Amino acid sequence: MTSRTLTTALAMALLLPAAALAQREGYSYLSWVGPEVSLVSTAEDDSTARANTPIVVGDRISTGSSSRAEAILADGNVLRIDVQTNLRFDRLARTYEAEDERNAFYLERGAVSLENRSSTTREGATRIDSDDATILFPDRGILRVETGRRGTEIYVVSGRAEVNVRSGRATLRAGQYAFASGDAELEVDWLDEPRDRFTR
């Protein structure tokens, strides 16, 4: 091996770890939890939720009457979970050893606030499902979704969201609100996010 070939081989060997590090995928985890939060995980037997607990696809989180939680997702976005909320993590983008191209959650009851820190395509948009609607959020911004017996409420604080219901679909802009319930027509109006404890 010539000295030039040896030098090239050494340079490549030094560059490979940096390239691998740049392409390495991460993981989603709970960054903050209150005292009454449980995480039923496919990876752990213990359902006690703690800060820095990793989240994997299929996990379910439940919050009590006075506890909230926050999750940092592998793609850098932030999901905040209000009191008395049940949520399932169906897909997690950019997660180690996963092939998911988007985040997807099923909100059974309660409220969540999603902070997208970057924009993406419709195909890569974070998806939130409830019994009444499917919401896609591709833009950088903040989205709040609440669901319960009455139906599902969607608040676009900033950015743009696509709301799909059985009767059709609509695109919401910043400052708009939508209400979905079963087979009823989607109601869209201009309405700010509620000024409640969850928002604060």
| pLDDT score, position 21 | 34
pLDDT band at 2 (very low <50, low <70, confident <90, very high): very low
Strand-pair partners of 178: 154, 188
Span 51-56, average pLDDT: 94
CA distance 183 to 55: 33
Across the chain, mean pLDDT equals: 88
Statement: residue 16 has pLDDT above 60: no
pLDDT at residue 47 is higher than 90: no
Higher pLDDT, 5 or 107: 107
Output the pLDDT for position 99. Answer: 86
More reliable by pLDDT, 120 or 22: 120
What pLDDT score does 45 carry? 78
- pLDDT tens profile 65-86: 999 999 999 999 999 999 999 9
State the virtual CA torsion across 137, 190, 85, 100 in degrees, nearest 10.
0
pTM, entire model = 0.86
Residues facing 145 on adjacent strands: 112, 154
* pLDDT at position 10: 35
Inform me whether the pLDDT recorded for 17 exceeds 70. no
The encoded tokens of residue 176 equal 């708009």
pLDDT (tens digit per residue) in 86-114: 999 999 999 888 889 999 999 999 999 99
Kindly report, residue by residue over 122-140, the tens digit of the pLDDT: 999 999 999 999 999 999 9
Q: How many helices (H) does the chain have, and how many strands (E)? A: 1, 16
Q: Whose structure tokens read 């997702």?
A: 73
**Whole-number percent of the chain with pLDDT over 90:** 80
List for the chain the helix, strand, coil content (%; round to 5). Answer: 10, 45, 45
